[in-house]
Chain A
Amino acid sequence: MDIKVKAWKAEGLRGAMQDFQIDLSDPLRPIALIQMPTGTGKTTTMTLLRKAFSGDPFSKDEVEELRAEFGPEEGLFELELMLDQTSCKIKISFDFVNLTSRYNTVLTPGGNRQGHELPRPYDRLLDKNLARLFVFDGELAAELRDRHLTSADEAIDSLYRLSVLSGLKADADTVLETQRKQNKHITGQQSNTVQRRKDALIEAEDRLQELAEERRVTSLSETTLAEELKTLQATINDLAEKNSKVDDAYEIAKGDVATAAARLDAAHAQVSSYFRRPQALHAAIGARLAHCYDQIDAAKLPGPSSKVWFDWLAEQQDCVCGRPLTDQKHRDAILENKDQYLGDEQHGLVNQIKGALKQGAVATAMANETIETLDDATSEHQHAKQQLRAAQDRRIKAAGGNIDTLRSQEKQIEKDLNDAQKTLATLDASEGRSWKDSIPLCQKEVDSRKEALNEASDTFKTYQKVKFLQAILDEVAARTVKKVRTTIQDRTNEKLAGVIHAERLTIDRIDRALQLGGTSRVRGEVSVGQSLAVAYAFLTSLFEHASYRLPFIVDSPAGPIDVETRKSVSKLLPQMFPQLIMFVQSGEREGFVEAFYERNDVQYLTCWREPNGIRTVRGREAFEAFHSDDDAQPEDDAI
């Protein structure tokens, strides 16, 4: 699947967009550098391109924003594309009187279609989220790294179109619903039952959705609060450290906290080891399991239940019941039926269980002692932290700092964080809770009501098949995301190593957002230029192996990037995209634009504003000579 931009034009829109057209149809020059000074409608053009690709509707406010003051009552934006061998024009007509817009699609071959009607499979591919990636939205660079947002995951979902699998799940639900409706042999009474159960299911599904939303919001809040607390505590630590006066109590308290933390870790590790020996956790559990051992032993298991035992029996003179085994057919019958009993593996397993049960009885006393040690270590650690806290406060006060305000903020954040954690624990708990307040129980209730509905509507078997298929699709999607994340992370890191030379910057993991590692993680921040370079490395890695080829359209691609990194970016981008359209400013020449002068597959366009629209000039000479603050016009032929 190959998509290329051939041209676009705007008519009757606000500002410089009254009359503006760009032709990029030269197949030998897939890289376009378009120099447009501020105020010539770059942002508007990017927005219109994104909308034209995705068919996203315009709100009244958006149409109003495009209306030219004292301008015509109608406006037009037209994007011309090549979708493999099909020529496609997407026209957006604006009615500035009623503040409406309408799409129209012209395909050759294919004819004129009302609406944003791209042929398959392009219609499924080009959506709003994907358009943000390849008609690159500068804000996306920061969003990709924002842990409160899910832009990195959404980018992967968009490009690898995992929604296709969700679509199949929805289709399976529709098949079930259709079958339910078509079951004509259902009696009137059954029909009432079906309706009642359907209502009950909707009630449970709605509640589950509410609980899931509450969990999502609380989880985000928990992350934010934890980060705020970490930052605040780092600030307090910094303030305490900055006070350079010698303070023995402070240094001792710091040492005590470190020692107590080490003891606590050791006690934790020891207690954790007892979780593998449940008898040790509590005397009651130990007693129950010992009783279990006695029962197994009394039954002489696994002995009489194993195949080996029947082999032994078949060779004896007498059976265990006392009768003599004189007839060969009795011996044969014993050997023929021995396979119904435990094989070697199962026999060994039962013996292992017996052995473990027997050994466990001695562990309880040891575990009690270790748990006491853990309690002591926890108290000691708490005490040491309190001492350090007091010492910090004294130091900050002595230096004139307002520690009381900081501690009050800390207390409030800790309280809010604690509340959020309690809410999450409550939502995830099952024991002693009603299905209306617990996510796992509510999920069970939904499943059980679904089953009840399907039983009543005689579609139980189809329901089970749908559930099975949906579970398979969910698992495929989950594993695919995991694998894609790993692939993209590796590729992004390879590119980052080649793009940013000044310091080591890596993606540690992709989980909703890009989690940065390397030296910048210590600082906790990256520059705007680095952020953009990370976004390029990530996006090019995403697009690199996608099964379709898209153009990359970007405004000020190198603006905030340092000169050294610009050179690497100027090499990276053309390698990764079959068509590259870049709106640049004269300030981006150094290191970035000048790197393209060596290539022969670049077209240069220079645009500036005139009273009736935008004038566009082609050619490198005019491009190089132009400065946005120049009044002089280039000499080349205007298009």
Chain B
Amino acid sequence: MTDPLFPELIEALREVLEEAGQDSQFDQQLTRLIANAYGGNADRKDVELLLNAVTLDAEDGH
């Protein structure tokens, strides 16, 4: 199967992640989640795992 993500989405995602300032684990997880969702293989559990990887400003001392 071809990559379910298309160039415009990949570019937009890269830009937004750069600005969001999360760690690389979050970036990878979100990219994988969106790819899986496009491929029809993502569920709520994956979203829950991703939420656990979110670092809020208050948590990292910003």
Contacts and interface: CB of A to CB of B under 8 A. Distances in A.
Report if A and B associate in a common complex. Answer: yes
Interface of A: 1, 84, 120-121, 123-124, 160-161, 164-165, 167-168, 171-172, 174-175, 461-462, 464-466, 468-469, 472, 475-477, 479-480, 483-484, 487, 545-548
Contacts of B11: 479, 483
Given A461-B56, A479-B16, A546-B6, A121 B44 contact: no
Contacts of B7: 545
B40 A121 contact: yes
Given A168-B34, A468-B56, A547 B51 contact: no
Interface of B: 1-9, 11-13, 15-17, 20, 30, 33-34, 37-44, 47-48, 50-51, 54, 56
B33 A168 contact: yes
A565 B36 CA distance: 42
Dominant secondary structure at the B interface:
helix
Given A476-B12, A545-B6, 14 more contacts: A1-B1, A121-B38, A124-B40, A161-B38, A165-B34, A171-B44, A461-B56, A465-B51, A466-B51, A468-B56, A469-B51, A472-B30, A475-B12, A476-B16
Contacts of B9: 160, 476, 480
A483 B16 contact: no
A175 B47 CA distance: 8
A547 B6 contact: yes
Contacts of A120: 40-41
Residue among A174, A466, A475 with the highest chain B CB neighbour number at 10 A: A475
A484 B8 contact: yes
B2 A168 contact: no
Contacts, number: 88
Contacts of A468: 54, 56
Contacts of B15: 479
A465 B56 CA distance: 7
B8 A480 contact: yes
A175 B44 CA distance: 7
22 contacts: A120-B40, A121-B4, A121-B41, A164-B34, A164-B37, A168-B42, A461-B56, A465-B56, A466-B51, A469-B30, A469-B47, A469-B51, A469-B54, A472-B30, A476-B12, A476-B13, A476-B34, A479-B12, A480-B9, A480-B13, A547-B4, A547-B38
Contacts of B1: 1, 84
Contacts of A483: 8, 11-12
A510 to B, nearest CB: 13
Contacts of A476: 9, 12-13, 16, 34
- What 6 A-B pairs are tightest by C-beta distance, nearest first? A121-B40, A479-B12, A120-B40, A483-B8, A171-B47, A465-B54
A174 B44 contact: yes
B6 A167 contact: no
Nearest to A478: B12
A124 B41 CA distance: 10
B56 A123 contact: no
A160 B8 CA distance: 10
A472 B16 contact: yes
B12 A480 contact: yes
Tell me which of B2, B8, B15, B50 has the highest count of chain A C-beta atoms within 10 A of its own C-beta: B8
Contacts of A477: 12
Contacts of A175: 44, 47-48, 51
Nearest to A466: B51
Nearest to B30: A472
Nearest to A121: B40
Contacts of A172: 47, 51
A444 B44 CA distance: 28
B40 A547 contact: no
Contacts of B13: 476, 480
Contact of A547 (B3, B20, B33): B3
A597 B8 CA distance: 38
Residue of B5, B6, B13 contacting most chain A CB atoms (<10 Å)? B6
A469 B54 CA distance: 8
